Structure 1
Amino acid sequence: MNEVSNKFLNKVSLLIEEAKKNVKTAVNIAMVYTYFEIGRMIIEEEQNGDNRAECGKYIIRNLSSFLTEHYGKGYSISNLKNFRQFYLIYSNDSISQTVFSQFKNYPATVTERKFYLSWSHYLKLMRISNIEERHFYEIESVNNDWSLSVLKRQYDSSLYERLSLSKNKDEVMLLSQNKKRFE
């Protein structure tokens, strides 16, 4: 009887742990899409202004004050600039969705872009200027469930560059285009 009870308790415990993981993932994904949309809205508002540079500073400064007052931390001027940059980088950046078929129910932006990683991952990824390299690290992060620390370690160890220098250059190119999985 006690053994059956322990199995039952473990099943319930696993269910709760999975639910917690799903909630965390949902919150992270919602944040990423929200930040993308805020970036889009900042760009659109800036484009409606006469003097872009001055108008942009004004918009971001006022938006930061407003959001911080209403929602607390997380909306500093530098964060809003990150949202803006995120939109600029990812609004026209597309990765084939075929390898990510397990995420078919994820929402998409108006440009049909889907996001699968946390905001912290994208902060790291958007600083990679080489598009193929950025795609490679994004794809590998998703497919291998890399934490941010693993992504940083792989990037800092120049994984993409080392693979690019290897004999299998074609394989690395296919990876960065999401056409082949690294084995």
Structure 2
Amino acid sequence: MQLINDIQQILRQARQNAYRSMNQAMVNAYWLVGRRIVEEDQAGESRATYGKAVIKKLSDALQQEFGKGFSARNLEQMRAFYLSYPIPQTLSAELHTPDFQLSWSHYQMLTRIKDKEERAFYEIESIQNQWGLREMKRQFDSGLYLRLALSTDKAGTAALAKQGQIIESASDAIKDPYILEFLNLREHYRYTESNLEHELIDKLEYFLLELGKGFTFVARQKRITFDERHFYIDLVFYNRLLRCFVIIDLKIGDLKHQDLGQIQMYVNYYDRFVKLDEENPTIGIVLCQDKSETLVEITLPENNQQIFASRYQTVLPSKEELRKLLEDRSSGDDL
């Protein structure tokens, strides 16, 4: 009955709105608690000793009325929350709060990210993409911010912290490396390209999240035919933001120049026989375990905007190594 369905939807939406409002109210309250603790810290003569004593006394009093959620550890987290998100200059000194749009669990994790720009990036992306805590943690553990920062210049890195990932050109949508730890393949496990494709399709939701914004699945083993010869494209996607097809060819081992020639053929076919006139040129990505940057540079045209070669890893990367690469690149830019 339509009446029942309509009223059920109204009540579900009202429940969601109420939960969202309650969650935001609690996050705001925790920020204000943290602010008040910091103010008290600053009034004490010995911040370390005085601060611990204040936290312990406050915790004992609050737990009597409000329960275990106000342990000394949790109060320290509220204090750290405020220090990570101090009063914006646009707000007055009265009890105003920033515009918090995520859950307290999100902010507990974000507070542990020391780099301000990296923290801002994950907050923006979580809001824009509606990441739950689990997905935000997965993206952080895979070093998404660092991987994107490595693929752009200083201005682009600064923009990540202010706007998140902006997809305006083909290169904006490409990562190197792609992290496929969700496949649970051991680092040196022997598998075929067919095995890899099967696992990616089996965990398509996770793969779409790793690909990034705007991707939708179209086909696997897509057959194309000309001159009575059949060819099979591993994976075909469409990116709604770029308004173009994205073809992915999977390779085990090192990239070969023939692999780039093959993906170029697939891209040319889609551009000439599949894409509509109002759609943008097709993008081709070869996903390989390793590649020679020199081989890629020499094989592809200088003005290439369509063909990309990216590595993939089946284990989480070391963020320390990614940070060192970013620091080394930044040092080189300064020379």
What is the TM-score normalised by the length of structure 2?
Answer: 0.46
1:167–1:36 CA distance, 2 compared to 1 (3 A): closer
Structure with the greater alpha carbon radius of gyration: 2
2:26 partner amino acid: M
Match in the other structure for 2:53: 58
1:3 corresponding residue in structure 2: none
| Structure 1: runs of 5 or more not aligned | 1-5, 97-108
Q: CA deviation at 1:54?
A: 1.5
Equivalent-residue separation in structure 2 for 1:181 and 1:164 (angstroms)? 12
Counterpart in the other structure of 1:139? 124
- Tell whether the 8 Å contact from 2:31 to 2:97 is kept in structure 1 after alignment: no
Where relative contact order (Cα < 8 A, 6+ residues apart) is larger, the structure is: 1
Give the alignment's Cα RMSD to 1 decimal. 2.3
Tell me the residue number matched to 2:44.
Answer: 49
Residue range with higher mean Cα deviation, 48-57 or 119-128: 48-57
In structure 2, the partner of 1:102 is none
SS state at 2:149 partner: helix
Report the count of equivalent residues: 165
Corresponding residue for residue 133 of structure 2 = 148
Change (3 A) 1:180 1:158: closer
* Contact 1:29–1:115 under 8 Å retained in 2: yes
How far apart are the structure 2 equivalents of 1:49 and 1:169? Answer: 41
Deviations 1:124-161 (A, max 9, x none): 11111111111110000001111111101111111111
Quick check: which one's helix share is greater? 1
CA–CA distance in 2 between the matches of 1:174 and 1:147? 23
Choose the corresponding residue for 2:22, options 6, 27, 49: 27
Structure 2 CA distance, aligned partners of 1:159 and 1:67? 39
Conserved 8 A contact 1:91-1:111: no
1:163 aligns with 2:158: no
The alpha carbon displacement at 1:113 in A equals 2.3
Instruction: Kindly indicate whether the alpha-carbon contact (under 8 Å) linking 1:46 and 1:52 is maintained by their aligned counterparts in 2.
Output: yes
SS at match of 1:152: helix
For 2:78, the equivalent position in structure 1 comes to 83
1:104-143 matches, within 5 Å, as 113-143=98-128
Query: Aligned to 2:99, what secondary structure does the other structure show?
Result: coil
- SS in structure 2 opposite 1:74? helix
